[in-house]
Chains A and B, each alone.
Chain A
Amino acid sequence: MILKYLIEKEFKQFLRNSFMPRIALMFPTVIILVFPWVATMDVSNINVSIVDRDVSTMSRRLSDKIAGSSYFNLTEYTDNYKQALDDVEKGKSDIIVEIPQHFERDINTIQHAAIQISSNGVNALKGSIGSGYLQNIAADFNADLGTKQGVTVSTPFSVNIQDRYNPTLNFKLFMIPALMTMIIIMLCGLLPALNIVSEKEIGTIEQINVTPVNKAAFILSKLIPYWLMGFIILTICFILAALVYGYTPKGSFLTIYAIAILFVLVMSGIGLIISNYAGTMQQSLFMMFFFMMIFMLMSGLFTDVRSMPDWAQDIAFFNPPRYFIDTMRSVFLKGGNMMDNSHNFIMLFAFAIMTNAWAMLSYRKQV
């Protein structure tokens, strides 16, 4: 069993290296502890300027309602639109709400008045979500008016939104499974690649290449340690998520570990392929970073694959992390099981076979 000796060697080298075990522990810890707070698309602290040309009880009431919302900070309350616009231009304010003259009178007489919401589009997300919130506040205000004054406001239907699976729309719960995926991509994809390339640079691979070690054994000896490491890291992530965020999957760990077996294999396989083509660390790092961008941005990690243009969705079809993230979220949030995710399992299984076969074939003992 040549493999036994090779794997023994990999472990000794890994553990003896003062740097690697530490980084392998630090990485998941920092990512799980820090990033869920940062990588959030929850929009709050929107600065709003109110231009009140009416200055009536009614316009006051609307302004108070806006200022009282936890999403908004009232930065300016003025009757001068130019001044409010100035604030936006200086970056002090994100949204202007303009309440026109005769606002109160119009509501009382013709029962119709308009307000204007202008948002700064530079930060598109903040702008659109902020004006969305404002519309809700206005609608709410409208309803209040109706009940208080005994006027029946014609509301043919009312919309009542209930969010399933993540009822509070907590962004952290959405991001944590994705961040775990990111950790696996980084560690299990990058490390085996760097490992082989460093053997190339030092020259030790030459000594191995004149021995009867066969390709499969050599590749497996690089794969298996990182495979195990992937599991350990994933487990650390689960423990941290449970301790810090009280977040445990709704579905079973079995499903997650089962899909992780495949996914780690795919990622290490890709790393190994790269290492077989790259001659130096620099080349392999650069190539890996390129793929890393694709893996992260085209996998639904941050933005949903289904909202991408068709051609991008076609590319995403070949993006293995996509299937893993999908399953992670499904298990964590919806309590999905293996059957629900069979498509993802099949895809990753296919990728695992393909990438590792490629890694073994492209490894040349002879040049």
Chain B
Amino acid sequence: MLCGLSKPTGGKASVAGFDIARQSEKVKQHIGYMSQKFSLYEDLKVKENIRLYAGIYGLSEKQIKEKGERLMHRLNIYDEQNTLVKQLPLGWKQKLAFSIAIIHTPDIVFLDEPTGGVDPLARRQFWELIYEATERGITAFVTTHYMDEAGYCDRISMMVDGKISALGTPKELKENFNANSIDEVFRTLARGAQRGE
């Protein structure tokens, strides 16, 4: 809904300063999105995927070339630029997908369970990329099942039965719930859930 994929039935929300109900196309110009299902074009080369999305977001040919090269250098896949995306290992794919999602330097990037099925090392590297992005002023909005990952964030919102039941910095949450870790906070909240498994 926040990315403009589903239509809200009621209520009010704004993303990057635009109303999601009425200005969903405007929202789309200012966000990046990476789904949990890998969704770059597998039958296109690394370089071609970058070119396609950079082009879609209106970057000029010069920018596409510069940004693309910087991106491939950063991910250490410069030598793989002519490899079809489907031949890359999952960890690389995810990093590539993320980098492409922020190629136009959006205000905010939505990451939907980005590290599912990725090994711990690749997960670490992935979070480094997220931190780099936030340093450049891009807000990262992450959903995750891993509570240790949640601890990397500046602000956490926990939802139980579709309602936000806790919201704050990791430190605040731990203090409020008298817990040692985010995982404990989560367990406390989850116990109160009405909905079955």
- Interface, chain A (partner B; CB < 8 A): 2, 4-6, 8-9, 12-13, 16-17, 202-204, 206-214, 365-367
Contacts and interface: CB of A to CB of B under 8 A. Distances in A.
A18 to B, nearest CB: 10
B39 A2 contact: no
A365 B39 contact: no
Q: Is the interface of B mostly helix, strand, loop or mixed?
A: loop
Given A367-B5, A367-B6, A212 B57 contact: yes
Nearest to B7: A366
B4 A210 contact: yes
A210 B35 CA distance: 10
5 A-B pairs with least C-beta separation: A5-B55, A207-B39, A210-B33, A203-B37, A212-B29
Nearest to B1: A366
B172 interface: no
Given A9-B48, A9-B52, A211-B53, A366 B40 contact: no
A137 B6 CA distance: 75
Contacts of B44: 9, 12-13, 16
Given A9-B44, A210-B3, A2 B55 contact: yes
B48 A210 contact: no
B46 interface: no
Contacts of A202: 39, 42
Contact of A13 (B28, B41, B56): B41
Contacts of B29: 212
Given A203-B39, A204-B39, A2 B56 contact: yes
Contacts, number: 74
19 contacts: A2-B58, A5-B51, A9-B48, A13-B43, A16-B43, A16-B44, A202-B39, A204-B39, A206-B5, A209-B4, A209-B5, A211-B28, A211-B56, A212-B57, A365-B4, A365-B24, A365-B25, A367-B5, A367-B7
A39 to B, nearest CB: 36
B143 to A, nearest CB: 15
Contacts of B4: 209-210, 365-366
A302 B51 CA distance: 48
Given A4-B55, A203-B39, A210-B4, 16 more contacts: A2-B55, A8-B51, A8-B52, A9-B48, A16-B43, A202-B42, A204-B41, A207-B40, A210-B31, A210-B33, A211-B53, A212-B25, A366-B6, A366-B7, A366-B24, A367-B5
Interface in B140-187: none
Nearest to B45: A12
Contacts of A207: 33, 35, 39-40
Nearest to B38: A203
Contacts of B48: 9, 12
Interface in B1-38: 3-7, 24-25, 28-29, 31, 33, 35, 37-38
A286 to B, nearest CB: 25
A60 B38 CA distance: 82
A206 B35 CA distance: 8
Given A5-B51, A206-B5, A366-B7, A212 B41 contact: no
B37 A6 contact: no
